[in-house]
Amino acid sequence: MKKYDLVVIGAGPGGTPAAMAAAQFGKSVLLVDKRGEPGGECLFEGCIPSKILENAANRYAMLKEAKKFHIDISGAEQIHWDEVLEEKRELVKKRAMGAIKQMEMLPSLTMKGGTATFTGSHTLDVDGEEIGFEHAIIATGALAHVPPFEGTGVAHAWTNANVFKEEKIPEEITFIGAGAISCELVQMFNKLGTKCRILERGERILKRIDEELALKVQQKMLDEGIAIELNVTLERIDGEEGDFTVAYTQDGEKHTVATPHVLIATGRSANVEGLGLEAIGVDYDRHGVKTDDTLQTTQPHIYAVGDCTVGQKFAHWASYQAGTAIHNIYAPRKHTIEPDKLSWVLFTDPQIASAGLTEADAKERNMDVTVEQYDFKTDARAQIDKEMLGMLKFIIEKQSGVIVGIQILSEDASSLSGEASLIVANKMKAMDVMKTIHPHPTLTESFGKLSQNIFMKMMMKH
């Protein structure tokens, strides 16, 4: 039986950096993945493919808006979707091959394609081969969660795992759910001319995101012609590709929609079935493997990172956890993860970025906070770009004055998220931010201007 210092199951943004880091320390490492190549869902069916297609859709939409900037484009705008898909395939392959080349430079790291199942506390089976290990990291990611809807059409509906493989731009799509994945995709396809409809069981879209910012995105969707049906109870999905019937109830009334395509985006489920976790005493549920704040599972020598764990599910969070797990396995003093410093970007239009706590998070913790805002409609850069829908929010703990959270709504919120992350991670106050000199005219000036406004309000009280 072959034995390793560390076995890592899953080669996504959590598993791959964990395996490489351990190998750099000279440990013998086996990295196991069903695909047989690194990248995970983020690379193959998630954030990378979606951003490639979204980038094309956004630039295509810019052509239609050229007149706003006094530009006359003669002729009809065209998008060559087949070329966009080919670019997606090439970039995904390039990134996977790049990771493979990096791993080849680490002689103590072995990658193996196959399905891993724990057979004991220090052994697992990989497609019939028994493997021994001292430590293990579970990094198997998550899958699209499809609720047990009634109807023959459920099995034929799209999820994010297969929609990016479509060779033609769909004429019409009905989206089930209005979370992050759905809202990004619906705006992307709408810009490409697809007729889009959302069926959402809640009272608004993006229920886990700052309500004020989410409602502004929701209104923009409606203005763009996207149909949004809220407070929906989905009854059944019947039919097959090209000919679906969706039945639902809304406010006590029954409705039926005929649609050629259905995309289910109703959340994520941890990819933990079939690993044999129950046999070795590792606790888990649909939401993920249960870990402590050092990422140890209920078996002290087995850790878990990324989307397969209970909690937030982001690629960069998985990579951050990977580094923490490797440190905690091999360093004498353990580190704990710090979810209050997590930042993320939602690539809707406009984008939403967040670092640290939202106002709702603070209220759940009974924190005494104040919320300060800066409206981009007064901003020079926003006026120049003719993109004035947006705002910057600081969530400030009253007693300490520390900025514990920042939310941004902007066409380019992703470019502002780095500064927001640094402010929150370093527990800065408005006075600290005000001392930073921001270049003009840029949207980053908003951080300084909001801090100045906060300072002036404080001075007025004294």
Alpha carbon distances (Å) from 20 to 41, 111, 129, 144, 319: 19, 11, 23, 27, 12
User: What span, in angstroms and rounded, lies between the C-alpha atoms of 148 and 154?
Assistant: 9
Burial of residue 384, with CB atoms counted within 10 A of its CB: 0-12 exposed, 13-18 middle, 19 or more buried = exposed
Strand partners, 356: 405
Strand partners, 229: 199
Identify the CA nearest to 301 among candidates 291, 311, 313, 288.
291
The residue type found at 118 is F
User: What span, in angstroms and rounded, lies between the C-alpha atoms of 196 and 115?
Assistant: 38
Q: 278 in helix, strand or coil? A: helix
Would you please indicate which residues are annotated as catalytic (active-site) residues? Answer: 440
User: What span, in angstroms and rounded, lies between the C-alpha atoms of 97 and 92?
Assistant: 9
User: What span, in angstroms and rounded, lies between the C-alpha atoms of 29 and 110?
Assistant: 6
123 CB neighbour count, 10 Å cutoff: 16
Identify the CA nearest to 252 among candidates 237, 236, 238, 231.
231
CB of 297 closer than 8 Å to CB of 291: yes
CB of 115 closer than 8 Å to CB of 33: no
